[in-house]
Structure 1
């Protein structure tokens, strides 16, 4: 009854199943590993941020370039405040507001973006406190440049004058006439009564949408394994039933072989003579 398994058709089906199952298991395990790595990175980043707040502030030059190892580290920088921009669509404690971002021009000739604080509501230059005049020394947590679409950063373009949606050297270099450091600092204490902006985890290290996409892909790959096994058993059962019917001499229903009364189709019926004999 199972001799059909030796036919070329079933050889192809069996080879496909034998290759598909381990491939799906491997891909599912790989996606699960990616999710676990993101969870571990998230936990490590949280622990690092907590320990970094207890460390002594270091000069900015010692922490560059900004990477996952230096994000959240305390740094101290001296310079003079220059241009000020507002960063809209920033939430703090589930309240909508905006950052007050001021460029700190250093003796090195480059400017460091400094988030001096957060204010609630819609961006309003009149409500944003002016930066202190003269030489200042700021101390805060180092942050990596943002990328649109990550960690809730808006990917929208065309902001009004005096605003920017992304804190990065690539975006700020088009708004100010001098070089900008690839990174930014958030003050430990909000300036002029503003709320301090907490340190965020490095991008692509949190439990964001990408992390849960990996978890969803894991479920999909393991579901494919079940689907392949289910289809193989379904095809096998169908083939066994056909083989059993053949052994019992049961002929499959031809469907349209005749009418419901067992007569031949109209095209095969012999013409009957009319009552008049014509």
Structure 2
């Protein structure tokens, strides 16, 4: 370090240097955190794209029991099933779809499991726009009789701690949905999974809109990581600018001449503008002399 910048050894500037390093370290850490989120979302979306594009299989080929866990290999897989709705319709309020406000229509589907066992499978039939003042009865209405469905498997959600409301749930927890649909229904409940309806035939006159597979939008986290790392670099650049300004202020206080900045090299446009200004000045002098 040259003598001119020996002031950087003072306690004040040591504190500024420490603060700069701390800010840069925080920015770098936040950048790596955003990068890890980017990698996690990239893996999740790759799994969605891989599983959701596979051909549908019969339900019992993938769910071999009512307690089969829907993990990475099964989530978003499509299955075919024949069954009928039992119990009443169930509403799931305030569950947005694609960042838009929406309510969901749920039902309990009676299907045939392995060895002729009667299963009860909770399904999310789709969504409809949230309207606190409208009548959503037709969107919640369940079709009658035997149905052919294509579904997507999802893991069951944790039970909601909120108080129960008739015909309504706040999470897609099979036990709570079954209770809201009527409770005492014949069959064994599938407890560790539920399903999204892809197609339902036949269906009602005004059915809910099936929920789409999540869009592969995960690049924002990578750009956020780059931004945080840039902020970390700017912290050191800011430190250097502050030190240079401090040195200039000390020089002026001591009466030390500060080197003037080198003049900017004139461009062809600058020379042309100067010639025009000179010609206009000459013309103005000739006019005034007349």
TM-score class, shorter-chain normalisation, is 0.5 to 0.7
Matches within 5 A, 1:1-278: 1-51=4-54, 53-55=55-57, 57=59, 58=61, 60-61=63-64, 64-75=68-79, 81-87=85-91, 100-104=105-109, 111-115=120-124, 122-124=135-137, 128-132=141-145, 140-145=151-156, 161-169=166-174, 171-172=176-177, 175=180, 176-177=182-183, 181-194=191-204, 197=210, 200-201=213-214, 207=217, 212=220, 214-215=221-222, 217-218=224-225, 221-248=228-255
Task: Report the aligned-residue RMSD.
Answer: 4.6
By how many angstroms is 1:71 displaced?
1.2
Taking a change above 3 Å as real, the CA distance of residues 183 and 99 of structure 1, as seen in their structure-2 partners, is same
Q: Give the structure with the higher percent helix.
A: 2
Unaligned runs of 5+ in 2: 258-290
Number of equivalenced pairs: 234
Is the Cα contact below 8 Å between 1:173 and 1:180 reproduced in 2?
no
Q: 1: CA distance between counterparts of 2:94 and 2:22?
A: 49
Q: 2: CA distance between counterparts of 1:30 and 1:93?
A: 25
Is the Cα contact below 8 Å between 1:139 and 1:187 reproduced in 2?
yes
Secondary structure, aligned partner of 2:153: strand
Taking a change above 3 Å as real, the CA distance of residues 20 and 103 of structure 1, as seen in their structure-2 partners, is same
Taking a change above 3 Å as real, the CA distance of residues 174 and 237 of structure 1, as seen in their structure-2 partners, is farther
Is the Cα contact below 8 Å between 1:110 and 1:181 reproduced in 2?
no
By how many angstroms is 1:65 displaced?
0.9
Q: Which residue number in structure 2 is paired with residue 266 of structure 1?
A: none
Is the Cα contact below 8 Å between 1:85 and 1:164 reproduced in 2?
no
Secondary structure, aligned partner of 2:74: coil
Q: 1: CA distance between counterparts of 2:26 and 2:179?
A: 48
Q: Which residue number in structure 1 is paired with residue 284 of structure 2?
A: none
By how many angstroms is 1:236 displaced?
0.6
Taking a change above 3 Å as real, the CA distance of residues 192 and 129 of structure 1, as seen in their structure-2 partners, is farther
Q: 2: CA distance between counterparts of 1:94 and 1:122?
A: 23
By how many angstroms is 1:168 displaced?
2.4
Unaligned runs of 5+ in 1: 149-154, 251-278
Q: Which moved more, 1:119-128 or 1:53-62?
A: 119-128
Secondary structure, aligned partner of 2:87: strand
Taking a change above 3 Å as real, the CA distance of residues 16 and 83 of structure 1, as seen in their structure-2 partners, is same
Taking a change above 3 Å as real, the CA distance of residues 10 and 170 of structure 1, as seen in their structure-2 partners, is farther
TM score, norm. by length of structure 1: 0.60
Is the Cα contact below 8 Å between 1:75 and 1:142 reproduced in 2?
yes
Q: 1: CA distance between counterparts of 2:118 and 2:46?
A: 37
Secondary structure, aligned partner of 1:2: helix
